[in-house]
C-alpha cells in the first residue's frame, strides 16, 4: 500500500540545532501519513530522553533512518569500529522499536572510505540484520553513493549473498550515479519483485557523480529529475509501498518552511498516490 511520509531530517537541521522538541508544534501542521525519524549522532548521549519525548508526542513513525555514521565506521574499519557500530546500531533499533517503527533505513557504507572495502560492509550486514530482526524490524539498505563502484553493483552483491535482502531506493542518489533509468530497466526487474521496500524522494540538479551537488536535498521540481516519468516507471513496475520526502525545508534562521514543505508533499501525493 502506497503511503507518503516526511523525514524529520527536513525539519531538524544544524540551523535549528537539531532540536527534536520542535516536532511537537511542527508535526501537526505537516500533511503526511507519518514520519521517517532520522537519528543524529549528537543525540547518543541523550538518546533515551529523545526517544521518550518524541514518543510522548504521539507521532506516527513507521520508518526509522539509522544514524549515518554507523556505515562510515564500518567502512573506515579502524580498531574497534565494527564493534562500536554494532553497539550504536542496537541503540537505533531500541529507539525505532520504542517509536513504533517497522522499517529501518541503513547506510551500509559511507564516509571517505565509502565502498573501498565493500566485502567488509557486506559481512557486517548480516550481524546488523540479525539485530534488527531481534527487534522485529525490517532492515533496508539504501543505495548510498559510492566512490569506487556504484550502489546497484553492491545491491546485486548483497542480493546474491542474501536473497531476502531489502532495499530503499533514493532517487537523488540514483540520479547522481546515472542509474535512475537503469533501476527501471528489464535488467533490474528483480528489484521490483520484492527487494525495494521504500523510496526516498528529493531532487538533484548536478551531473554524473558531481559531488558538490550532493549537499542539496532539493524539492521536486528544483532539479532535473523527471518526476512524471518516475511516477510512470513506478506504476509500470507495480511498486506499491512507501515513500518519504527528504527535501530540506529549514530556512537560514532555523525556522521551518511549513508552506513549501506542504506544497511538495501535495505534489508528491498527486504524482504517486
How many domains, the chain? 1
Residues 6+ apart with CB under 8 A from 78: none
pLDDT for position 155: 98
Looking up residue 106, the CATH number of its domain turns out to be 3.20.20.150
What's residue 252's pLDDT? 86
The pLDDT score that the predictor gives to residue 137 is 98
Which residue stretches of the chain have pLDDT < 50? none
- The whole-number pLDDT of residue 216 equals 87
Contact present, 32 and 6 (Cβ < 8 Å): yes
Cβ neighbourhood burial of 202 (10 Å; 0-12, 13-18, 19+): buried
Cell readout for 197 is 521496500
| pTM of the complete model | 0.97
Domain that holds residue 31: 3-272
For 19, phi then psi, to 5°, come to -80, 105
Q: Can you tell me whether residue 229 is helix, strand or coil?
A: helix
> Using CA atoms, how far apart are residues 98 and 89, in angstroms rounded to an integer?
14
Amino acid at each position: 500500500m502506497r503511503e507518503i511520509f516526511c523525514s524529520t531530517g527536513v525539519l531538524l537541521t544544524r540551523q535549528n540545532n537539531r532540536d527534536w522538541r520542535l516536532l511537537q508544534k511542527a508535526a501537526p501542521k505537516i500533511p503526511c501519513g507519518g514520519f521517517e525519524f532520522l537519528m543524529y549522532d549528537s543525540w547518543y548521549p541523550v538518546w533515551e530522553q529523545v526517544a521518550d519525548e518524541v514518543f510522548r508526542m504521539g507521532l506516527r513513525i513507521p520508518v526509522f533512518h539509522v544514524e549515518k555514521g554507523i556505515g562510515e565506521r564500518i567502512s573506515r574499519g579502524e580498531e574497534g569500529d565494527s564493534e562500536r557500530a554494532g553497539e550504536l546500531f542496537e541503540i537505533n533499533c531500541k529507539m525505532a522499536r520504542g517509536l513504533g517503527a517497522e522499517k529501518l533505513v541503513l547506510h551500509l557504507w559511507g564516509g571517505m572510505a565509502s565502498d573501498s572495502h565493500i566485502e567488509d560492509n557486506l559481512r557486517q550486514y548480516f550481524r546488523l540484520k540479525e539485530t534488527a530482526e531481534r527487534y522485529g524490524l525490517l532492515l533496508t539498505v539504501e543505495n548510498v553513493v559510492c566512490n569506487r563502484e556504484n550502489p546497484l553493483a553492491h545491491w546485486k552483491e548483497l542480493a546474491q549473498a542474501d536473497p531476502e535482502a531489502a532495499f530503499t531506493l533514493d532517487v537523488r542518489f540514483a540520479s547522481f550515479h546515472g542509474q535512475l533509468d537503469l533501476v527501471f530497466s528489464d535488467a533490474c526487474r528483480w528489484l521490483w519483485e520484492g527487494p525495494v521496500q521504500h523510496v526516498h524522494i528529493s531532487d538533484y540538479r548536478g551531473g554524473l557523480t558531481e559531488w558538490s551537488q550532493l549537499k542539496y536535498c532539493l524539492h521536486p521540481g528544483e532539479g532535473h529529475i523527471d518526476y512524471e516519468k518516475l511516477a510512470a516507471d513506478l506504476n509500470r513496475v507495480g511498486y506499491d509501498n512507501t515513500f518519504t520526502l527528504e527535501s530540506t525545508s529549514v530556512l537560514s534562521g532555523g525556522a521551518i518552511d511549513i508552506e513549501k514543505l506542504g506544497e511538495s508533499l501535495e505534489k508528491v501525493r498527486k504524482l504517486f498516490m
